[in-house]
Amino acid sequence: MDKLRKRAETLFRAGVAAADPARGVRAALPEVLTDPPGAGGRWQIVALGKAALAMTQAAREALPEAAILVVTNPENMPASAPDGIRVIAGDHPVPAEGSLAAGRAIIETLEALTPADRLLALISGGGSALAVAPVGGVTLADKAEVARALLGSGADIVQMNLVRQHLSRLKGGGWCAHTAAPVTALILSDVPGDDLRVIASGPTVGRIGSVDEAADLCRYFDIWTKLPAAVQARLSGAEAVRPTAPAQNVLIGGNALSVAAMLRAGAQEGPFALAGRVDNLAPRIAALLAEMASGEVLVFGGETTVALRGKGRGGRNQELALRVACAAEAAGISGDWVFLSGGTDGRDGPTDAAGGVVGPDSLERMRLAGLSPEAALAENDSYPALMAADALLMTGGTGTNVADLAVLIRG
């Protein structure tokens, strides 16, 4: 399995490398620079997301005099902020005080700009939680409660961000409502399909759907009664009209480009995407494994969801890997194989692992360590189970984020 695992990790790294945010920013900047600030104006860069620092460094090469505000996750924070750059650590996946401070800083920065200034927004995944500015009547604690309910409901990222947008002054085009300056956004996609309204909840784009659709979604996932009263009131009210100036939004990278890089590295594309709940997807992957020829290598991209029932530690990629190992055992699949599933940002859920890498001996190792894979899944506790089997994918923060990648190899 060691040889197969090395191959899988090499392919995963090739996918992550293809999502280099700096490369995408450099390619897009020449067009941005054709509209310079007016008389007395200046460039303002505001970068939000897990790839914010890498995107900012590339933009600063072309705009060395720009004022810069960066909001990113704690794992990507530099030891000290580069000269001339203000860096704020938000909170992820549940917003907290850091996220609230980041939201305030963004609004203050945007509102200080004039029509002569130019705003370059650098947007990447994770921004929905990293910076928050609740609408009137909704508190930070309310926002955190909504985030926890959505994360545990099985809702996908489109559905979660639809709800978030109606509770925020910044999301769903909110940045444009807070500034008089023309806005250009360079956007690194972490969502399947690359819908710009979904990435970081579309701060320079617009809303995914109506307030009524957001409320109906909460009822569908049976979380309506768990929502704070202020949130229920907001989602039961009239549609809030938000006049915004149009922004120029430019997609500079996404999950499909990373999958393409893995294909160039010698793999074949899997017949379906990483999508839906992991407990439904894992048996499909195991069934595919049973049909694969020796030496066949398949890669996948996308993003799954997990329904939280327990209070364990893990993430969607770790749980998918553990469920695939269990499904392969249940199907009686013999021979050597490996399955890797990882987040391109290097962090899967609230853990320090990017995901999991499992093979035919992974479950045996867990059981020899006194852990039950089945009990771990019942408690959403995949991290310690995978750790016991030396099956965690550890990469550290990658500085990018284009959703998830997976590799399936038949020995």
Alpha helices in 91-228, H assignment, sequence order: 97-111, 127-130, 140-151, 157-165, 174-177, 211-220
Specify the pLDDT at position 193.
87
Kindly state the tokens that stand for 326.
Answer: 């269990």
| All structural domains of the chain | 2-13+257-410 (3.40.1480.10), 20-253 (3.40.50.10180)
Specify the pLDDT at position 76.
79
Specify the pLDDT at position 32.
92
Specify the pLDDT at position 181.
96
Q: What are phi and psi of 285, to 5 degrees?
A: -70, -40
**The pairing of beta strand 404-410 with beta strand 67-72:** unpaired
pTM value is 0.86
Alpha helices in 133-250, H assignment, sequence order: 140-151, 157-165, 174-177, 211-220, 229-235
Provide CB contacts within 8 A for 179, sequence distance 6+.
110, 111, 113, 119, 245
Please, what's the b/e burial string for 241-252 (b: 16 or more CB within 10 A of its CB; e: otherwise)?
eeebeebebbeb
3-state secondary structure of 32: helix
Largest CA distance in the chain: 72
Tell me how far apart the alpha carbons of residues 199 and 161 are, in angstroms, rounded to a whole number: 8
3-state secondary structure of 184: strand
Specify the pLDDT at position 77.
83
Which candidate, 282, 367, 275, places its Cα nearest to that of 321?
Answer: 282
Do 303 and 403 contact (CB within 8 A), yes or no? yes
Mean pLDDT by 10 residues, the chain (411 residues): 94 95 94 95 97 95 96 86 89 95 98 97 96 97 96 93 97 95 96 93 95 97 96 91 79 93 97 96 98 97 93 96 98 97 95 97 98 97 98 94 96 95
Rg from Cα positions in the chain: 22
Specify the pLDDT at position 81.
75
Tell me how far apart the alpha carbons of residues 42 and 324 are, in angstroms, rounded to a whole number: 53
Tell me how far apart the alpha carbons of residues 129 and 395 are, in angstroms, rounded to a whole number: 22
Q: Is the peptide bond before 283 cis (omega within 30 degrees of 0)?
A: no
Which candidate, 270, 295, 263, 264, places its Cα nearest to that of 284?
Answer: 270
Kindly state the tokens that stand for 95.
Answer: 């917003």
Specify the pLDDT at position 245.
66
Do 389 and 362 contact (CB within 8 A), yes or no? yes
